[in-house]
Amino acid sequence: MYISDVEALTEFRYSNICHKQVFRIGDTNLQQSIRNHMKKCQKNGWKIMKKVILEKYAKPFVPHILSNKTYNYLLANNLTHLFKPTRYYITYDIETLEKKVNEKFGDSSQVTATLIPYTIASTVKLSSGIHSCYYDIRTEDFLDKRLKQVFEEAKQVKKDNKYIDETIPQYYEVPVIRFNSAKFDASILFKNLKSKDWTISKYLGQNTIAKQIIVKHQSSSIQLRFVDFKIYSMQHKLKDAEKYFGNGQYKKGRFPHEFINTNNYMNQLNKCEPFPIEAFDNKLRNKKLSEVKYKEYLVEAAKHKSRWDYLKHYNILDTRVLTEPIDYLIELMFKYKVDMLGNISMSQCSNAIKYSMANNGFNINGDQNCESTDKSIEITQNYWRAKVHSYIEQNSKKGRDSSNNVTIDDQDYFKEKFKNQRCHMCNVRFTWKIRPTLDRIDNSKDHQKDNVIPCCLYCNVCKANRDERQMKLKVQLKKYALFKQLPMTLTSDEGFQLLRKGIIGGISNVMHRYNIAGETRINHFEFDQENKCVHSIDSDNVITHVVQLDFHSQYPSVMSGESNALNPYTNHIIYMPAQLIEKIADQDRCKALIYDTNRFSNDPLVVDKMLIFVAEIKGHVDEKCLNEVIY
C-alpha cells in the first residue's frame, strides 16, 4: 500500500531536509519549532548531530541495582530478602474481522481492508488465583466497558504487587499484556484509551508500533501499562511461547479466522454445529487443517452449545495460555534479582542479568579497598583557585553566606591535607585520577576552614543531601568495581570517540551469514579502482570446517571470561574492558605495551596485571596497493 499524504494519516510532519526530526501538526508552536530546527540543521550540514552526554565521574555500571529503585533501596538497607518481582498482571486478547473497503485516497493511495474488533477477553492473575472475563460485539461499546472493568480489577492487582511497608519505593503501574499487540491490538484499542475517565500519560514506540502505552485513570491513581509480550521473548507465535515456556496446563485452540468476516459473522456464529473442516483453510499460507487436528477441534467444540460459546472459550484460552510463559520468565529472571515486568525489553533484562552475574559477590558491608599505585596529588594554584570559586558559587545558589569561606591563601594548608589524608568516606588516596574536594561537616554552614573535611569528588557527589545508606551503597559499589575491575561508565569524549569507531555491525552480521562445511566457498575482497568500491569474490576453495561464529567488538562483553583457543592473548580468555584509565600518546610507552611479551603469557597471575588497550594507528595505503592488504 502506498500512502501519498503521510502527514494527514499520522498527524506528524517530518523535516524535509534531514527527514528525521518530527513535529506534531497540532502543536501551536509548530512554525517556531520548524524554524529553530532548520537553523540547527543548517549548521550541521543538514544532518542531525547526536551528542553523547557522558558522566562527569566514572560510575560502576550495575543496571540491576541503580535502575531499579526498589532493589536499590532494599540493598542499601540490608532488606534484600524482601525483594519480590511483579508477579501479578492482566493479559488480554482481541479478535478482529476483516472488512473489505477498497477506498482510494488520491491517485496513489488505496486501503483494501480494515480490521474491526468483535471480541475481547482478559485474564487477571492475582495472589488468590486467576479469573477471566469476555465481551463481544453483541454488547454495545464492549471495548469501553471492558476497559472500565479492567481499571476496577487493576486495583486488586496493584494491591497484590505492593509491598506491605509503603516506605519502600516501588512501581505502581499494572501490567496489561498481550501477545503481538504492538502492531495490531494496540492500534485497534488506541482510540478507546482516551476518554473522559482515562487518558494516555506515556507512549513509547513509533507511530505504527507501540512498545509501551501507560493509561492513567482521571479520578483514581490506577495506571495501566500496556505492553507486548514479544518485547520479552523471541517467539513469533503464541504456540511457540507455550511450547518452550509453558507447563502444559493450557493449549492454544483453533479457530477459522479467514472464514469469519463482517458479512457473515452473525449468521455463522449463531449456528450450533461445529465449523466444517474447509472453514479452517488458510489461503494466505496455502495450508489446510489435518484430519487429526480437526478431530481434536470437534472434541473441544462438542463441549459448547454454539459457535459463540466456542469463540468465547477460544478467546479466553489465548489469554490463559499466555500466563504460563510470563510466569516462567518472571521466575527465571528473578533468580538474578531482575524484575522482568519492571523492564521494557528483553535486551534491558539480559543486560541487567549480565551485570548482576558480574557483581554477584558484592557485599555492601564488605572490605573492597583497592590501593592505587598512582602518585599522590599536589594541587596547583589554578586547581585550588577553581575550587574556591566553586564553593562561593555553591553558597550563592543556596543563599549561604561566604564571608568565612576558605580562601586562595589557604592553598598550602589544604595542599598538605590532600597529600597526607584520605577521603573520609571511602578511604581512597587522592591522585590526579581521584581528585579531592572539601565536604562540609555541618551542611547548614558554609565552607569554613573548621567545617570541611577532605573527600573525593565521587563520594561528595554521592553524598550531597541524600540518605547516608544510599550514599554508602554507591561508594561500596564503586570500590567493588575497582577492586574486581568491573565495567564503569566513560567520562572522556575523546575516549568514547576512539572506542566507538570499533563498534560496527550488529547481531544480523552473524545471524544472516550462510556458512556450511563442504558447500560454502571461501571468499576474498578485491578493490575496484575504476569504480572506487570493494567486491567480495568467491574463490575456488571450499570451507571444510566451521570453527566458530565470527564476532566483532560488541561481543566480548557477552563472552567475557570464556576460553577461546583462537585468542593468543590473556591466556586464551576473552576479557570485557572495565574502566577507561587514560589515553597514551607517547610512542615509547605505546611500543612498550604492544611488544610486552607478557601479553602472550599463560600464567593467570601475570595476565591479571596486564592492561587491555586499543591501538589507533594512522597510515596510508596507495590505491594501487590496496589489494595487497585487504583479504
Could you read off the pLDDT of 299-349 as tens digits, one per residue? 999 999 999 999 999 999 999 999 999 999 999 999 999 999 999 888 889
174-178/89-105 β-pairing: parallel
Alpha-carbon distances of 57 from 176, 366, 434, 458, 485, rounded to whole Å = 39, 23, 10, 6, 16
Residue range(s) occupied by CATH 3.30.40.220 in the chain: 381-482
Query: What residues contact 497, with CB distance under 8 A and at least 6 apart?
Result: none
3-state helix, strand, coil in the chain (%, to 5): 35, 20, 45
Confidence bin at 186 (pLDDT 50/70/90): low
Residue range(s) occupied by CATH 3.30.420 in the chain: 84-357
Where do the H-state alpha helices sit in 335-467?
A: 346-358, 381-398, 411-420, 457-463
d(CA 561, CA 538): 35
pLDDT at position 391 over 60: yes
pLDDT above 70 as % of the chain: 88
More confident residue, 119 or 551: 119
pLDDT at position 25 over 70: yes
Under DSSP, is residue 104 helix (H, G, I), strand (E, B) or coil?
strand
Longest dimension (CA), the chain: 97
The structural architecture, per CATH, of the domain 84-357 is 2-Layer Sandwich (3.30)
Q: Which three cell numbers stand for residue 252?
A: 492454544
pLDDT at position 620 over 90: no
Mean pLDDT of 124-133: 95
Residue 261 has what DSSP assignment? Answer: -
Spacing of C-alpha 219 from chain mean position: 32
Nearest to 352 by CA among 363, 337, 341: 337
SS3 per residue for 318-335: HHHHHHHHHHHHHHHHHC
Burial tier of 215 (Cβ tally within 10 Å: 0-12, 13-18, 19+): buried
What amino acid is encoded at 384 in this protein?
Answer: W
Could you read off the pLDDT of 540-598 as tens digits, one per residue? 888 887 665 555 444 555 566 777 777 788 888 877 777 888 888 898 999 999 899 88
Radius of gyration of the chain (CA): 31
438: β partners = 454
Nearest to 213 by CA among 173, 250, 240: 173
d(CA 229, CA 251): 17
| Torsion, Cα of 598, 601, 604, 607 (10° steps) | 30
d(CA 50, CA 165): 43
Confidence bin at 514 (pLDDT 50/70/90): low
Nearest to 295 by CA among 312, 311, 280, 316: 280
| pLDDT score recorded for residue 62 | 92
CA geometry: angle at 176 spanning 66 and 142, to 5°? 160
Residue found by looking up cell 532494599 in the block: 74
Query: What residues contact 439, with CB distance under 8 A and at least 6 apart?
Result: 424, 425, 452, 453, 454, 455, 459, 460, 463
pLDDT at position 509 over 70: no
pLDDT above 90 as % of the chain: 34
- State the first-to-last Cα distance of the chain, in angstroms, to the nearest integer: 43
68-77, 95-104, 506-515, 583-592: which is most confident? 68-77
What amino acid is encoded at 347 in this protein?
Answer: S
Under DSSP, is residue 279 helix (H, G, I), strand (E, B) or coil?
helix
Q: Which three cell numbers stand for residue 57?
A: 565521574
| pLDDT score recorded for residue 553 | 45
315 contacts 93 by C-beta, under 8 angstroms? yes
Q: What are the two backbone dihedrals, phi and then psi, of residue 127, each rounded to the nearest 5 degrees?
A: -65, -25
525: β partners = 536
Confidence bin at 177 (pLDDT 50/70/90): very high
pLDDT at position 506 over 60: no
What amino acid is encoded at 168 in this protein?
Answer: I
Could you read off the pLDDT of 462-505 as tens digits, one per residue? 887 678 888 899 999 988 988 888 888 888 888 888 887 766 55
Nearest to 271 by CA among 306, 312, 305: 306
Mean pLDDT of 7-24: 71
| pLDDT score recorded for residue 521 | 85
Q: What are the two backbone dihedrals, phi and then psi, of residue 206, each rounded to the nearest 5 degrees?
A: -100, 180
Could you read off the pLDDT of 422-467 as tens digits, one per residue? 998 888 889 888 889 999 988 888 889 999 999 988 888 888 767 8
d(CA 84, CA 161): 9
Query: What residues contact 39, with CB distance under 8 A and at least 6 apart?
Result: none
**Sheet strands (E) in 106-187:** 109-126, 129-136, 174-178
Encode 266-285: b = buried (16+ Cβ within 10 Å), e = exposed.
eebbeeeebbebebbbeeee
Under DSSP, is residue 80 helix (H, G, I), strand (E, B) or coil?
helix
192 contacts 143 by C-beta, under 8 angstroms? yes
Mean pLDDT of 394-399: 85
Q: Which three cell numbers stand for residue 549?
A: 561464529
Residue found by looking up cell 519505593 in the block: 169
342 contacts 197 by C-beta, under 8 angstroms? no
More confident residue, 154 or 614: 154
Kindly indicate whether the domain formed by 381-482 is annotated with CATH number 3.30.40.220: yes
d(CA 495, CA 474): 24
| pLDDT score recorded for residue 68 | 93
